[in-house]
Each structure stands twice: as C-alpha cells, then as structure tokens.
Amino acid sequence: MLHRLDDIDRSILYTLSRDARRNSATDIVDHVQVSAQVVRNRIKQLGESSVIKQHHPQIDYERVDGLLTNLFMCATSTNDRKRLTRQPFQITGVVNIREIMTGHTNLQITATGHDTDGISQIARAITDIGVDIEKEDLVRREHVSPYRKFDSDGAQQGSAITDFVSLAGDAELLEITIEEGADIAGKTFEEANANDLLDEDVLVITIERDNVTVTPCGKTTAKAGDAVTLLLRGDTDAEFRTTFGAGVEG
C-alpha cells in the first residue's frame, strides 16, 4: 500500500537522507519548521508504513584495512530469482544485494575482500549457489545525494543526478532524473538515438517510474520524472546530461 506524503514528510525524508546519523529530531526542526514532537511522530509513522526502512551506515571499506569493493552484475531465472535473492548474504564479504525487477542482469551484488584473490573466492561462491555473474567491476567510490524534489528549495539546486558510482575500466554507473522540458522527455529511445541525443557510450540500463523498475527498449518513451540508471563507458562527453535536463547548475 502506498503512503501518501505531504510537504512535511518530504522535508523530513530529504533532511534524513542528507545525513541521518547527524540529524536528530531537533536538528530537523530548523529545516522542516514544525515542532520536534511533530517530527518524531512523523518519523515513527514513516517507519511504521515502511517508507523509512532500517538505517545502515555508509562505510568506506577502503579505509578499513584497504578492503576492495566489487560490484557483480548477475543473472538468475525468473523462477529462481526470489529463492536466490537473499542467499548470497550467506557468503562472507557480501554486503549489499539489489534486485532488479526486469531484464537479464536482474541481481546486483556488492562484496568486499582484502585482495583480488578474496574477491575471486566470493565470485566462485556466488556461482556455486546458482547465480550467473555476467559482469563485474571494482568500485572506486560511491556518492549519494537526497532526492531533491523532497526539498522545498529543490527547484533551485540545478542537478538531477541522485546517485553516482565509479567502476574500474573507465565505466561509471549514474542515476539521473529526467526533468520537465528535457530534450529526451516524450521521445522513445529509438527517436533519441535517431536525433543523436544519446552518445554510443551511454547505455540506459533501467528506468524507475511510479515505483516500478522498467527495462527500456527502443519503443520505450522517456518521461519527465523518470529515474534513469545509465552505464557510461569510456570518456563520455559531459554534454549528454543536457539530454536529461541536468546539464546546467541553477
């Protein structure tokens, strides 16, 4: 069941997603401009509605004994996906599993190890439980930003980039939100390619729309508000961001 958010809820979520560790109810009051008791009650309601799930710290594993972080892009059959989704957590070193609703690579597994041999052992263990690894890369760093539309001042922030991961081999994963009036909004990806809106080194992996993850094809129409995950390969021209309406800082 969907939980309908009002402006107070959105502001609370925006402030928490900036840094939940350092934002107490009292700290949030300054941004949300309601009483601390209202903030505490709203956070409790958001938790009970599962809008806010468990809080997990964002750990820089490289600073912990120089651990390596690896991203495995995996494939499972539709029948096996539900059974295998959480099973990799039994493997020492696996720290995150992301299930993709559709598409061939429908499971992303993040793991840490002391060296490449350790990462290879994790890869073998993942394969042994029946998950096929299609591609893997070492993660250089991860950047996370709150969803700017939850912020009352979000329209002035300019960039719609919400998540960014650098991978080894000159590849990057980037999540970007299509803005109103963007060049690609209202066009199919076939039309976008025909009009040279997407560089050949930019691959659209998934679209998140109305809480549903869509694997795009040529006939898929890009819409304003879509959260698009892109794989950037090689030395991609930064001008591609104007395609999504995020190329100019406000």
pLDDT at 143: 62
Q: Where in the chain is the domain with CATH 1.10.10?
A: 7-48
Q: Is the pLDDT of residue 239 over 60?
A: no
Q: Is the pLDDT of residue 216 over 80?
A: yes
| pLDDT tens column, 56-84 | 666 777 777 778 999 999 988 877 777 78
Average pLDDT over residues 157-178: 58
pLDDT at 84: 82
Answering whether pTM is above 0.75, one says no
pLDDT at 153: 56
What CATH number was assigned to the domain covering residues 61-139? 3.30.70.920
Mean pLDDT of the chain: 77
What CATH number was assigned to the domain covering residues 145-244? 3.30.70.1450
pLDDT at 126: 94
Whether the CB-CB separation of 132 and 106 falls below 8 Å is answered with: no
* 7-48 CATH fold: Arc Repressor Mutant, subunit A (1.10.10)
pLDDT at 146: 64
Q: Where in the chain is the domain with CATH 3.30.70.920?
A: 61-139
| pLDDT tens column, 2-53 | 677 888 888 888 777 766 555 666 777 877 788 888 888 888 888 888 787 7
